[in-house]
Structure 1
Amino acid sequence: MIKPSTYFANELTELLKPFNGQALKLIIHAGTPKTGTTSIQSYLDKKQSKLRRKGILYPHNHKSLNNPNAPKHQWFEKNLVTTHVENFLENLRNIMSQVKQETHTIILSSEGIYNYWWDFPDESKDMLAELAKHLDVEIWAWFREPLDFIENYYKQCIRNPQVENNPCYGKDLSFAEMLDIKWFSQHLDYQGFIDECQIVFGQNKVLAFEYKGDVIQQVMEKLGLPTTSVNAYPRYNKSLNTASIAVLRTLNQYDIKAKDKERLMPYLREINNIVENYAEETLIDVISRARVLKMANTIKF
């Protein structure tokens, strides 16, 4: 039986034949969580036409996807977690159908690439290595200070709906309890992610940035585009405070469907705003703080 990565390589070769001689760079923006990912995605999506005129493609999603108009490319990690080669190829075909003669750069963005990197089977990483053989692939990722990052990531896990086989999403767990779970704590291994990506994509193909709040400006500068008015762009996904997390943990004790939990979020955001001045303390206790700093494998920028 042919290996998934071999089949993928053969199909990818055929897919790219019409573009022989056209130098194409593929930038994969991998997040990480709470580093302005939604702002980047919304900005690139709204500037699609202007970017295309400059040879930069931020592609539309395939119409068959759930919520195809969302300005992010979650199909990327979803099909890699399951090594669903055909679905992955179908989305690549959709992208290549949008490539014009003047296109020189394609950008994909999904912070789930970082979230689920450790869940990708070896065969899926072999597929990514094949992708890097056919296209000039670069990985871009922004990283926060580890205590700030992991607290916000904990909040995101509590806020997410329950997912089968995920030990953290939608659970009633304290920060200390979640830190005991390897799936969660391994996200502190920034350097490990970089090292693995360099093995897959190449030594000089991974760009790590320190998050300082000006991500859109950094993106535009890296693309060689003007940064006028970039700083005025709105921030998205305000972090939930400790009171809201307490409410969510109570809700997580029940087997609430994802769609019903999403229906509750507008009310939770209202609670979050009302109690903002009453719930400012961190969720990380002194012992957990020391553990995080010991676990963190950070990057020297």
Structure 2
Amino acid sequence: MARTIFHVGTHKTGTTSIQQFAAKNRRQLRNRGLLYPGYKLINRSPHYAHHDFAHVVAGASSKKLKQNDDIKFVNAISANAKATDTVLLSAEPAYRHRIPVNHEHGNIWEERDAYVKRLSEVLKPLDPEICIVLRSRDGFAKSLYQEKVKATSFSGNFQEFLEYDYWYFEYEHQIEIFSKYFKEVKVCVFEDISKFGDDFISGFFNLLGVNVSGLDMPPIANIGFAPELVDLNRYFNKHSTSLKQRKMIRNLLESFAESGSFKSEHIRSSWASEDFMQHFLSRFADQDEKTLKRLAHSIDRDTLFPNRTPIQSVFSGLSCEDIPKLCLMLLTHAKMQEIEQRKA
């Protein structure tokens, strides 16, 4: 039986880069003993990751897969994997999906438990190890907040996000649920992975026991926004009227950020203050002592995460004067894009 690893994220820990690398080098990796299966195994449209698989397990809608395709996909992997292969599946939505168990009084952890249980039942023929990558919560929260504003209609501020999505940061609780249904759960720290290779991607695959030297590396995925652009995106979310509008704005903001046309005058944090962040992080100290003992790799410190740099400057939000200035810069960028496209 092939060894199977299910990489469940978390979000904002280089997952897209890992997935795009594995998809791009699928054939070369297979020659090195790593099977990164695609949906073509069941005659479905390809995707660089296995998000749709995670969605279907939850009973959610999917663009690529249909109902029961999750089971068909697992069976197809079983039929195609050699006993000497390592099978890699990667889908960070498995870290957040929930299955409702009580519509009147829904409990997040009961719903997470129900999802992971269902996931284990679907994956049973592969008997997978779970690989979970954790990131220091200060950076994780900022990146996840940005992604939520970019990818959804969320228009709350950073503090509201922390209260609304608090359970994303309960790392030990998440691990305990996976451990309840899977025999082995490997825990890695995002900030340490590059130490195990020449870069983050080679470090990740080295930890899995797969040599990826000499293969093409993908460009950096999901370039971060400056706090000002995140706040502008939040402003648009609050006032836009359709999904189409939000998608158009998100694409324009991403292009604007990638162009380097806007840079913050100072590196400023979304956290309200150093004291506020320290209070937030201290809530998880007992949990992190337990998680530290679970690490699948060695570290040279006695804390789960490396020491962080204290907050120097705080971003308190866009002013009424800032918003029209940024909108004008965005419109100018859109016009320049249009001119370049015409020339091409």
TM-score (norm 2): 0.68
> What is the Cα deviation at residue 233 of structure 1?
4.8
Per-residue CA deviations over 1:225-284 (Å, capped at 9, x if unaligned) read 334357965321111111111111111113543343222233212443322233631111
Larger radius of gyration: 2
Letter in 2 for 1:145: S
CA shift for structure 1 position 291: 3.9
Q: 1:291 to 1:233 in 2, by over 3 A?
A: same
Choose from 211, 214, 231 the match for 2:190.
Answer: 211
The SS at the match of 1:26 is: strand
Amino acid in the other structure paired with 1:238 = I
**Matched residue of 1:278: which SS?**
coil
Unaligned residue ranges in structure 1 (runs of 5+): 1-22, 162-169
Of 92, 95, 110 in structure 2, the residue corresponding to residue 114 of structure 1 is 95
Pair 1:70-2:55 in alignment: no
> Which residue of structure 1 lines up, in the alignment, with residue 269 of structure 2?
282
Question: Relative contact order (alpha carbons < 8 A, sep ≥ 6): 1 or 2 greater?
Answer: 1
1:264 matches 2:235: no
Partner SS state of residue 209, structure 2: coil
User: Which residue number corresponds to residue 171 of structure 2?
Assistant: 190
Question: 1:209: Cα distance to partner?
Answer: 0.7
| Aligned counterpart, 2:197 | none
Question: CA 1:218/1:160 → structure 2, altered by over 3 Å: closer, same or farther?
Answer: same
Q: Residue 249 in 1 paired to residue 226 in 2?
A: no
Query: What code does the residue aligned with 1:142 have?
Result: V
Q: Secondary structure at the match of 2:247?
A: helix
Tell me the secondary structure at the aligned position of residue 221 of structure 1: helix
Q: Distance in 1 between matches of 2:203 and 2:20?
A: 15
1:295 and 2:283 correspond: yes
Q: Give identity over the alignment, percent.
A: 21
Counterpart Cα distance in 2 of 1:100 and 1:51: 13
Q: Provide the residue aligned with 1:55 in structure 2.
A: 33
Q: Specify which of 121, 124, 132 is matched with residue 130 of structure 1.
A: 121
Letter in 2 for 1:81: A
Give yes or no for contact 1:52–1:103 (8 Å, CA) kept in 2: no
Paired residue for 2:299?
Answer: none
Note closer, same or farther for the CA distance 1:217–1:101 as it changes in structure 2 (3 Å cut): closer
Q: 1:54 to 1:156 in 2, by over 3 A?
A: same
Q: 1:113-132 CA deviation, whole Å, 9 max, x = no partner?
A: 11326575655433333356
Q: The residue matched to 1:277 in structure 2 has which SS?
A: coil
Among 31, 47, 59, the alignment partner of 1:82 is 59
Return closer, same or farther for 1:74/1:270 CA change in 2, 3 Å cut-off.
Answer: closer
Give the match's secondary structure for 2:147. helix
Structure 1 Cα separation of the partners of residues 155 and 180 of structure 2: 37
Partners in 1 of 2:127 and 2:278 — Cα distance? 40
Contact 1:217–1:230 at 8 Å: present in 2 too? Answer: no
CA drift at 1:137: 0.8
CA contact (8 A) 2:15 2:92 kept: yes
Q: Does 1:239 align with 2:224?
A: yes
Aligned alpha-carbon RMSD (Å): 2.8
AA paired with 2:141? I
CA-to-aligned-CA distance 1:97-142 (integer Å, 9 cap, x gap): 6x15466222111111113265756554333333564323111121
Q: CA deviation at 1:188?
A: 0.8
Rate the CA distance shift 1:53–1:228 in 2: closer, same or farther, 3 A. Answer: closer
Are the equivalent residues in 2 in contact too, given 1:81–1:121 (CA < 8 A)? no
Letter of the structure 2 residue corresponding to residue 89 of structure 1: I
Structure 2 unpaired stretches of 5+:
61-65, 99-107, 195-199, 296-344
**Residue 57 of structure 2 aligns to which amino acid in structure 1?**
L
Contact 2:8–2:90 (CA under 8 A) maintained in structure 1: yes
Report the number of matched residues.
264
Alpha-carbon distance in 2 for matches of 1:266, 1:279? 25
Normalised to the residue count of structure 1, the TM-score between the two structures is 0.76
Quote the Cα distance in structure 1 between the aligned partners of 2:216 and 2:186.
22
8 A contact 2:97–2:115 mirrored in 1 = no
- Matched residues in 1 for 2:216 and 2:88: separation? 21
Picking from 157, 166, 189, the partner of 1:174 is: 157
Which residue number in structure 2 is paired with residue 5 of structure 1?
none
